[in-house]
Structures are given as C-alpha cells and as structure tokens.
Amino acid sequence: MTINNVSQAKVCGGWHKQYTHESATLNCTMRFAIFLPPSAVKSNPVPVLYWLSGLTCSDENFMQKAGAFRRAAELGIAIVAPDTSPRGEEVADDENYDLGQGAGFYLNATQEPWSRHYHMYDYVTKELPEIIEANFPVSQVKSIAGHSMGGHGALTIGLKNSQQYRSTSAFSPICNPMQCPWGQKAFNAYLGNEFEAWREYDASELLKQAPSELPILVDQGDADGFLAEQLKPEALVAAAQLHQSKVEVRMQPGYDHSYFFIASFIDQHLDFHARYLNQ
C-alpha cells in the first residue's frame, strides 16, 4: 500500500502528519492524520488511539482543536484520525450535512447508491490499522475514541471488536441512533429497512444483547443542544445496567457539543486509555 505524505509539522516534540492513499475498501482516495509522539521509533513501537470525528468533520478537526498533543506525547501514545467518510466526485452525496460525504456513520452500507463507497466500518477496523502498522513505528495495541457521530462509531466498533481494542471513550456520542433523527435518516439510507442490521450499529442495542468487558468512558455536556433529541445517553446507561457492563457516563455541567468541551477533558480521556494501552 502506497501512502503519500501531504503535510507535516513538529509539535510537542513529536510529529503531526497527513497522508493520502487509495482505499480498496472505500474505492476512493482517502486522507488520514497521525500524531507520532517523540518516543515512537522502530525500536520502541507505541500504542495507538484511533479518533473518529463527527458530522461535517474531517481528519483535521480533532488534530487542530482538541489540544491532545502534549499529553499524548507525555504518555507515548500515537493518535490516528481518519476522515469521516469516503469523498470524491464519483462518491454518492446528499445536499444535507447529515448524510453522504462527511457523514459516513462508521457502518457498511448495503443500499444503492451508497454501497459502492460507504464501508467506513471495514475501513476503520481493517484497512486503516493495517496501513498504520505497516508504515509507522506503532504496535498492534490500540484503543478507540470519538465525538458525536464519531462517538457512536467508537462505541459500536469497540463493542463489536472487544478483542481488537483495549478501551473505548466518547464525547457526546449518538448513543441510540435507532431512536433519533440523525440515526434513523442515515440507517434508512445506508441500510434500508433491515432493522436487524440497524441494531448492529447501535451501542445501546448492542449492550442490551450482551455484557461488555471493554472499559468505556463517556463524557456528555448538560448544555448540549443535541442532548435530548439526538444523543440520548440515558439509553446507554440503562442498557449498560442490564448486564453490569463497564460503562461510565459523566454529565459535565455547562458544557456544550463543541471542541471547547473536548479540549477541556481530552487529557482525562488520554489518561484513561493509557491505563489499558500500557498494561
């Protein structure tokens, strides 16, 4: 797999770099960003935190706004941020922000015109880690985190692949997409009326089906304008309680849905992941 470096900058003793590559999974050119801490060398491969961003975002939002580099450098953790969807002139799109390019929802689409390109689940769980581990001084030890739609992706991917990830965390995740407008719109378009397939991409439904041993941390601002209609953390809490799954949901007073919220607590999330990545 050939990857092409399109930008790089030294930060906190490490390196932030962007790359493009031709994705066999998504049938288009994809871009990802990686932060390599100063301790990342061939003789000392470091663990990786995969970060999934939300609606309308790309690989750049977290890297530019979250303020994660200093703590990640101290902890010796690499961070990889993929784009949120396939992109390009031949990739299906929608005029609204919550469907199509920028809104991949981290699933494998089965319906036309989406099914040719929209396989973000396979990209994040298979193709991207293979690229990262083949080209950078990182180990196979990894965790996953995300925000909003990306929080939904991190939770569902972590729950469905608990042997692959050490821990999962999320900021303001879409916790019960089967029961909210964003999720219903995306699932109907990408998956059609196969409601059993919908359940496979809903963190609350997954936790209802079986207990999870994967450590999960969720932060949610109580001033988030999307809280009641779209995010529904109470559904995640109720589902986790059914089997006493290891899910901690923290309501943070006064915080909204923005990257100001993420920047306020990202060090705590990195510390949380470091406990499991370094075991």
Q: Which of 148, 204, 212, 245 is catalytic?
A: 148
Residues pairing with 143 in the sheet:
49
Sequence-separated (6 or more) residues with CB below 8 Å from residue 270: 49, 68, 71, 72, 75, 77
Average pLDDT over residues 248-274: 98
Tell me if residue 224 is catalytic.
yes
Whether the predicted pLDDT of 30 surpasses 80:
yes
Q: Which of 117, 152, 257, 273 is catalytic?
A: 257
- Supply angle C-alpha 173, 119, 154, rounded to 5: 25
As given in the structure block, the two tokens for residue 19 are: 């790359």
User: Domain 3-278's class?
Assistant: alpha beta
205-229 per-position pLDDT tens digit? 999 999 998 999 999 999 999 999 9
For the chain, what are the domain ranges?
Answer: 3-278
Q: Distance from CA of residue 118 to its chain's centroid?
A: 15
Q: Which of 224, 245, 269, 273 is catalytic?
A: 224
Phi, psi angle pair for 58, to nearest 5° = -135, -165
What is the per-residue pLDDT for 243?
Answer: 95
Tell me if residue 245 is catalytic.
no
pLDDT band at 279 (very low <50, low <70, confident <90, very high): confident
What is the per-residue pLDDT for 189?
Answer: 98
Whether the predicted pLDDT of 1 surpasses 80:
no
Sequence-separated (6 or more) residues with CB below 8 Å from residue 33: 16, 17, 18, 19, 59, 60, 63, 80, 81
Whether the predicted pLDDT of 163 surpasses 90:
yes
Tell me if residue 16 is catalytic.
no
Average pLDDT over residues 40-58: 97
Distance in angstroms (rounded) separating the CA atoms of residues 264 and 257? 12
As given in the structure block, the two tokens for residue 253 are: 């007073």
60-94 per-position pLDDT tens digit? 999 999 999 999 999 999 999 999 999 999 999 99
94-111 per-position pLDDT tens digit? 999 999 999 999 999 999
Average pLDDT over residues 27-33: 98
- Supply angle C-alpha 83, 143, 25, rounded to 5: 40
- The pTM of the full predicted model, rounded to 2 decimals, is 0.97
Distance in angstroms (rounded) separating the CA atoms of residues 108 and 185? 15
